[in-house]
Amino acid sequence: MPISTFMGLNTSLRGLLTEQRALDVTSHNIANANTEGYSRQEATRRPTDAMGVPAGQIGTGVDVTSYRRIRDSFLDLQFRAQNMQAGYGSARADALEQAEMRLAEPGENGISARLSSFWSSWSDLANTPESGAARAALIEDAQTLVSSINALDDGFETVQTQAAQQLELLTGDGGELEGMARELAGLNGAIADSQRNGAQPNDLLDRRDLLLDKLSQLAQVSVGDNGAGSIRVTLGGAAAPLVDGAAVTWPAPAMPTPGGRIGALMDVASPTGTVATYRNDLAGFAQALTTQVNAVYNPAAGTDFFAYDATTKTLSLNPAITTLSLKAGSGGAAGANDAAIAISELRGKAGTPDDVYGRLVTRIGTEVADARRTTVNATALSESIEDRRQSTSGVSLDEEMTNLIRFQRGYQAAARAMSTTDEMLETIINRMGRVGL
Amino acid sequence: MSSPRITSSMVHRGVLADLNEIATKVSRTQLKMSSGKEILRPSDDPFGAGRALSLRGELDGLQQYRRNASDAEGWTTATDSALGTIGDIAQRARELLLSGGTGTVAPAERLKVAGEIDQLIEAAKDTGNSNYAGRSLFGGTATGAKPYGPATDTYLGDGGDIVRSIGPGVAVVINARGSEVLGNGADGKLLNTLRDISAHLKGTAPTDDAALRSSDIVAIDRSIDNVLTVRARVGAVTNRVSAADTRLAELEENAHVLLSKTEDADMAATIVDYSMQQSVYQSALRAGAGIVQTSLLDFLR
């Protein structure tokens, strides 16, 4: 088969065009070097089909076969698992830290200080059972103690309410979760359309993966492949997928194992969750205080000192207790102080209110420290996975600059080859057959 | 396997994460320095925080026991001094009895002596009515009223104990009742004895003389002895309370040391930490600035 004289021009042209495409891809990479979720792309080239000649085959140049998106989807799975832990840990740590701050321990304004001064007041009353000042001081201290216990319970309740509000903002109608689900469904549709037309929608795939990364911070994400570029996304171990292809199930299907920020907030807001158990412990403390003080005070004075309402979780001082009616001891004698001494002896012993309260403080401290540690660990792990992802998919400017030079040189060389062919043609067209002219 | 690609964003994120971590440490150390506390929140050291709470409670308790002890000491000291006065009165009465009760003293003189004894009785009752910070010392738990009225020798107080708690589960009875010391005028105690002596001095019957020389002396000796016994008991309580106070002071000191060890920051160590973290922070900043700025771009034409 004869070969066209002009074939070399075409071969060079293919080289020029291919280098140009490669330069375009490099520019795209450089432009997106700092774009979140972007995966670097690469123009994959292949020699074009060779031409058979009697001596064998002769090459016809090069062509771009695809624009490849460089990404390791296995790392995505690892990243999302850790990102969920980090989301869970940080939301939990935030909420529990709120509860911890409301304790105001160790300090002068915490319940332990109030309780201590309450016991001291009983002791002072035992020293001066006749004194109106000691009675007034005791009642004042008792009221301060009552209001700080009630305020702490209110504080815990506020932490729960705030978590519920945040949860509503995330998972309610028109919230972050719904927005993400609808965007995912939209991207699914667009990606499937592109692939049907034979195109590889790299940038859309990046956006979808980024969205899945963000979703993984909110809850446990599992992704299934529907084929043809479409995926289904199930959240928190739900029975039905939240997004299936281009369809969204809203309101979101119930999540038995939510995980992530949603899981943490659900636990904090729940009436059986972590903060709820703090409230129960606090109630146990208030109950112990009431029972133990009343057990001493009532036989001596004939009335209770404290009253605790377990349904509203409210502690109160018996309104019948006034500076006049308050009794330091049994019997009518002015100097009797047996009850006051017995109550002041409740301070600090095992099983007494101090003990119960101390355990609550230690428990909250431990859980906050745990949540913080989980967050730090999961964040460190997700960072290191993100590093590995970036090592694969990230744009290295040094590399792109090198490519820029490589492709530019390639382009220049292809142009030179074209010029050389052109010079050859010059010889053929203008110089040949002109013997004697 | 070839070495991993290092991309620009990895470098940036790495530098940022390191700076963040060091800055967090620096700010935490700063907080420790400015507050002087190792434990600012329970989560800094949950076990230590729980321990600090119970130590603080213990410390408050010890301070309260010391306050109780000091009140008890005031009470017993006042009681002791009143008992001293009563003892002096009884001694004076004994002297008067010995000098005025002999048969050689003229009846007019004996009446004068009887008059002085009557005065001593009033003085003894006044002393029995003495109070400490507005509370009757000798009235039992009826601290609001005087145990002896002007007209009779009847004891108006009650038999209650005044108790002070000077340690966990340690309650001491700090009072002496008027009924133990002065009696109620009919029980052979001091007032009864003095009234008898007075009556015998005023009387002229031979039995009066005989009583003055024998049974009255026995009775006054017994009364003096009784006052001394009660005073010795009160003195023992004073000693016990003051020993307890010394021990409480030691315990308080110990609790202070333990509390400080638990929740206070070790300043020397904290300051060394701080300057070390500062220098690490600065070198991280410098290294970061160097890494972040350069790229191949700087060296291409």
The CATH number that applies at residue B193 is 1.20.1330.10
Quick: pLDDT tens for A350-378: 778 888 899 999 999 999 999 999 999 99
- Paired with B171 in beta bridges are B165
- Whole-angstrom distance, CA of residue A300 vs CA of residue B231: 32
**Can you read off the two tokens belonging to residue B126?**
């006044």
Residues in B touching A106 (Cβ below 8 Å): 39, 42, 49, 52-53, 56, 263
In a domain, B152, yes or no: yes
What Rg value do the Cα atoms of chain A yield, rounded? 38
- Whole-angstrom distance, CA of residue B116 vs CA of residue B194: 11
- Do A165 and A280 fall within a single domain? yes
**C-alpha A27: how far from chain center:** 33
CA distance B242 to chain A (A): 16
pLDDT surpassing 60 at residue B197? yes
- Do B249 and B283 fall within a single domain? no
Q: What is the pLDDT of residue A437?
A: 65
**What domain range is A26 assigned to?**
7-70+395-431
**Can you read off the two tokens belonging to residue B137?**
């010392």
**What domain range is B209 assigned to?**
65-260
- Do A50 and A88 fall within a single domain? no
Task: Return the sign of the alpha-carbon dihedral for residues A415, A417, A418, A419.
Answer: positive
- Whole-angstrom distance, CA of residue A162 vs CA of residue B256: 40
Mark residue A260 as left, alpha or beta (left: phi above 0; alpha: psi -120 to 50; beta: remaining): left
- Do B27 and B145 fall within a single domain? no
- Do B247 and B273 fall within a single domain? no
- Do B208 and B274 fall within a single domain? no
In a domain, A257, yes or no: no
- Do A66 and A107 fall within a single domain? no
Quick: pLDDT tens for B59-98: 999 999 999 999 999 999 999 999 999 999 999 999 999 8
In a domain, A75, yes or no: no
Quick: pLDDT tens for B107-127: 888 889 999 999 999 999 999
pLDDT surpassing 50 at residue B164? yes
Q: What is the pLDDT of residue B2?
A: 59
In a domain, B179, yes or no: yes
In a domain, A267, yes or no: no
Determine the average pLDDT of the residues in A122-134. Answer: 90
Determine the average pLDDT of the residues in A204-231. Answer: 94
CB-CB contact of A20 with A433 (8 Å): no
Q: What is the DSSP letter of A46?
A: E
Helix residue ranges, H only, A50-201: 73-103, 111-127, 132-171, 176-196
- Do B133 and B280 fall within a single domain? no
Of A89, A44, A37, which Cα lies nearest the Cα of A67?
Answer: A44
Per the listing, tokens 């000291």 go with B77
Q: B99 falls in which pLDDT band (50, 70, 90)?
A: confident
**Can you read off the two tokens belonging to residue A252?**
């979101």
- Whole-angstrom distance, CA of residue B264 vs CA of residue B16: 32
**Is B140 near chain A, with CB under 8 Å?**
yes
Residues in A touching B10 (Cβ below 8 Å): 387, 390-391, 394
Whole-prediction pTM value? Answer: 0.84
- Do A162 and A182 fall within a single domain? no
Vertex B158: Cα angle to B155 and B160 (nearest 5): 140
A-contacting residues of B 241-280, CB under 8 Å? 263
Quick: pLDDT tens for B140-162: 888 888 999 988 889 998 888 89
Give B7 or A26, the one with higher predicted confidence.
Answer: A26
- Paired with A44 in beta bridges are A66
Quick: pLDDT tens for A303-341: 999 999 989 999 999 999 998 888 888 877 888 888 999
In a domain, B54, yes or no: no
Strand ranges (E), A166-322:
221-227, 230-235, 243-244, 247-248, 306-309, 314-317
- Do B141 and B184 fall within a single domain? yes
In a domain, B290, yes or no: yes
CB within 8 Å: B142 and A372: no
Quick: pLDDT tens for A71-110: 998 999 999 999 999 999 999 999 999 999 999 888 888 9
CB within 8 Å: A100 and B296: no
Using CB atoms, pick whichever of B168, B171, B296 lies closest to residue A401: B296
Q: What is the pLDDT of residue A106?
A: 84
- Paired with A308 in beta bridges are A315
Determine the average pLDDT of the residues in A242-267. Answer: 93
pLDDT surpassing 90 at residue B288? no
Helix (H, G, I), strand (E, B) or coil at A247: strand
In a domain, A341, yes or no: yes
- Do B26 and B174 fall within a single domain? no
**Can you read off the two tokens belonging to residue B278?**
């500062």
- Do B111 and B215 fall within a single domain? yes
- Do A338 and A287 fall within a single domain? yes
Residues in A touching B79 (Cβ below 8 Å): none
Q: What is the pLDDT of residue A222?
A: 94
CB within 8 Å: B135 and A362: no
In a domain, A216, yes or no: yes
Using CB atoms, pick whichever of B10, B143, B168 lies closest to residue A394: B10
Mean pLDDT computed over every residue of chain A: 92
CA distance A20 to chain B (A): 21
Helix (H, G, I), strand (E, B) or coil at A216: helix
Interface test with A, best of B12, B35, B63, B64 (most A CBs within 10 A): B64
Point out the domain boundary residue: A250, A283, A306: A250
- Do B185 and B285 fall within a single domain? no
- Paired with A223 in beta bridges are A233
- Do B205 and B227 fall within a single domain? yes
Task: Return the sign of the alpha-carbon dihedral for residues A179, A180, A185, A190.
Answer: positive
- Whole-angstrom distance, CA of residue B168 vs CA of residue B30: 40
What Rg value do the Cα atoms of chain B yield, rounded? 39
Q: What is the pLDDT of residue B107?
A: 82
- Do A157 and A177 fall within a single domain? no
Of A133, A6, A102, A21, which Cα lies nearest the Cα of A60?
Answer: A6
In a domain, B202, yes or no: yes
In a domain, A23, yes or no: yes
Q: CA A305 → CA A317, A329, B263, B284, distances in Å?
A: 6, 13, 34, 61
In a domain, A336, yes or no: yes
Mean pLDDT computed over every residue of chain B: 90
Task: Return the sign of the alpha-carbon dihedral for residues A199, A71, B20, A217.
Answer: positive
Task: Respond yes or no on whether the N-terminal peptide bond of residue B107 is cis (omega within 30° of 0).
Answer: no
What share of chain B has pLDDT > 70, as a percent? 98
In a domain, A99, yes or no: yes
Q: What is the pLDDT of residue B291?
A: 76
- Do A207 and A346 fall within a single domain? no
Q: A53 falls in which pLDDT band (50, 70, 90)?
A: confident
Q: What is the pLDDT of residue B104?
A: 78
CB-CB contact of B127 with B82 (8 Å): yes
- Do B146 and B288 fall within a single domain? no
- Do A49 and A135 fall within a single domain? no
- Do A288 and A378 fall within a single domain? yes
Q: What is the pLDDT of residue B1?
A: 46
Q: What is the DSSP letter of A429?
A: I
- Do B73 and B218 fall within a single domain? yes
Residues in B touching A124 (Cβ below 8 Å): 64, 67
Determine the average pLDDT of the residues in A415-428. Answer: 93
**Structural domain count, chain B:** 2
Task: Respond yes or no on whether the N-terminal peptide bond of residue A251 is cis (omega within 30° of 0).
Answer: yes
- Whole-angstrom distance, CA of residue B177 vs CA of residue B189: 12
- Do A177 and A235 fall within a single domain? yes
Q: How deeply is A229 buried, as exposed, middle or buried, from its count of CB atoms within 10 A (0-12, 13-18, 19+)?
A: buried
Q: What is the pLDDT of residue B6?
A: 84
- Do A155 and A304 fall within a single domain? yes
Quick: pLDDT tens for B250-268: 999 999 999 999 989 999 9
- Do A277 and A376 fall within a single domain? yes
CB-CB contact of A237 with A220 (8 Å): yes
pLDDT surpassing 70 at residue A1? no
Residues in A touching B35 (Cβ below 8 Å): none
Neighbours of A256 (CB within 10 A): 9
CB-CB contact of B160 with B140 (8 Å): yes
Q: CA A14 → CA A41, A48, A64, A403, B49, distances in Å?
A: 21, 9, 9, 19, 75
- Whole-angstrom distance, CA of residue A348 vs CA of residue A118: 12
* Interface predicted TM-score of the whole assembly (ipTM), two decimals: 0.84
**Structural domain count, chain A:** 3
